[in-house]
Amino acid sequence: MSTVPGRGQPTPYTRGREDGPVRSICEVLAYRKIGAYHQLTIVAPDIAARATPGQFVSLAVEGGGTILRRPFSITGVSQHGPWAGTIDVVLDVVGPGTAWLAGRSKHDVVDVVGPLGRGFPLPRQPATCLLVGGGYGAAPLLYLAAQLQHRGHRVDLLFGAKTGERIFNAIEGKRQASSTRFTTEDGSFGTQGRVTDVLPDIATSTGAEAIYACGPMGMLAAVAAQARERRLPCQVSVEELMGCGVGVCNTCVVPYRRRDGLANVRACYEGPVLDAKRVVWEAIGTTAMAGEPVEQGDAS
């Protein structure tokens, strides 16, 4: 097997075991601009077949001196159609890697590792689920919504963002939920404010029995606090800087109360979906967890 797969080779080239994540060199089937975001549809049958909502993929990028992959939530999979097995990812351009990816178009080749991480656990009994997304955090929730509906759960969506064009795919959202509500900080779309301003009302009116959330860490902490107050189970998909995405570098940790005590769990491996009430929100990015004097320059 070649050490430099890619152009010239038939795509998708896939390497991995019978189950678990694989590495695939895949063709881009479609590129679409959605509001402020870019959506890529990628032909990756092995990944599509193995993925569950809440999992992510890690894409290689080119240009400058970049060496690491970039993680993106899977926002949908399709097992059918002329191209058997595609996945969708949504990009917000924030730096060189996302800029390079947003420049891909049909027939370009991308290098994908996935599906990675722990997805959203689904309710065992029919339940009313409130899905709360911030910005591109809505992406994995659309995939989750489709699966929840398919299994007969009630889905209500609450998506927020800074501006209307950063509300991801409102139309698709409306199609997949019993109710949808949008908030924007500038009031350009939906209710002016934040998701947490309207969450209590919606939770009450829909009779939410479980909350699923994905978005910036600050939003997740606030949603987690509201869920706790209402004693609602809450699963959050967290975001931390990732070096490897596959569990080996220990850069993506989140302080977490495990059965066996406090731990720094890996967002890419034990997460990205975590039980909100176990996350030690106040200790994120602080030395509060360190449990021992932190030595500066203790590089590894």
Ligand X SMILES: Cc1cc2nc3c(=O)[nH]c(=O)nc-3n(C[C@H](O)[C@H](O)[C@H](O)COP(=O)(O)O)c2cc1C
Closest CA to 117 of 256, 242, 222: 242
Rule CB under 8 A: is residue 8 a binding residue for another protein? no
Task: Locate 106 and state its tokens.
Answer: 């049909």
Nearest approach, Cβ of residue 177 and another protein (Å): 33
Kindly list the distances between the CA atom of residue 36 and the CA atoms of 59, 74, 99, 122, in Å, as whole numbers in the listed order: 20, 18, 13, 30
Task: Locate 202 and state its tokens.
Answer: 């919606």
What is the distance of C-alpha 47 from the center of its chain? 15
Q: Which residues pair with 32 in a beta bridge?
A: 39
Nearer to ligand FES (CB atom), residue 195 or residue 274: 274
- Show contacts with ligand FAD in window 117-156 (CB under 6 A): 136, 139
Q: Which of 120, 136, 143, 269 forms a contact with another protein (CB under 8 A)? A: 269
Q: Where are the beta strands (DSSP E) in the chain?
A: 13-16, 22-34, 37-43, 56-59, 70-78, 86-91, 109-116, 128-134, 154-161, 179-184, 191-192, 210-214, 234-237, 253-258, 261-266, 273-275
Nearer to ligand X (CB atom), residue 2 or residue 300: 300
Nearer to ligand FES (CB atom), residue 30 or residue 263: 263
Rule CB under 6 A: is residue 254 a binding residue for ligand FES? no
Task: Locate 288 and state its tokens.
Answer: 């509060």
Rule CB under 8 A: is residue 98 a binding residue for another protein? no
Rule CB under 6 A: is residue 300 a binding residue for ligand X? yes
- What is the x/- site pattern for another protein, positions 227-256, by CB under 8 A? -------------xx-xxxxxxxxxxx-x-
Rule CB under 8 A: is residue 18 a binding residue for another protein? no
What is the distance of C-alpha 53 from the center of its chain? 8
- Residue 292, contacted partner among another protein, ligand FAD, its own copies, none, CB below 5-8 A by kind: another protein
- Residue 300, contacted partner among ligand X, ligand FAD, ligand FES, none, CB below 5-8 A by kind: ligand X
Task: For residue 286, give the amino acid letter.
Answer: T
Kindly list the distances between the CA atom of residue 209 and the CA atoms of 1, 193, 202, 243, in Å, as whole numbers in the listed order: 50, 24, 12, 35
**Strand pairing category for 253-258 and 109-116:** unpaired
Nearest approach, Cβ of residue 178 and ligand FES (Å): 35
- Show contacts with ligand FES in window 234-253 (CB under 6 A): 242-245, 247-252
Q: What residue ranges bind its own copies (CB under 8 A)?
A: 62-63, 65
Q: What residue ranges bind another protein (CB under 8 A)?
A: 1, 3, 15-17, 20-23, 60, 64-69, 113, 240-241, 243-253, 255, 262-264, 269, 284-292, 294-300
Q: What residue ranges bind ligand FAD (CB under 6 A)?
A: 56, 68, 70-73, 89-92, 94-98, 136, 139, 239, 241-242, 272
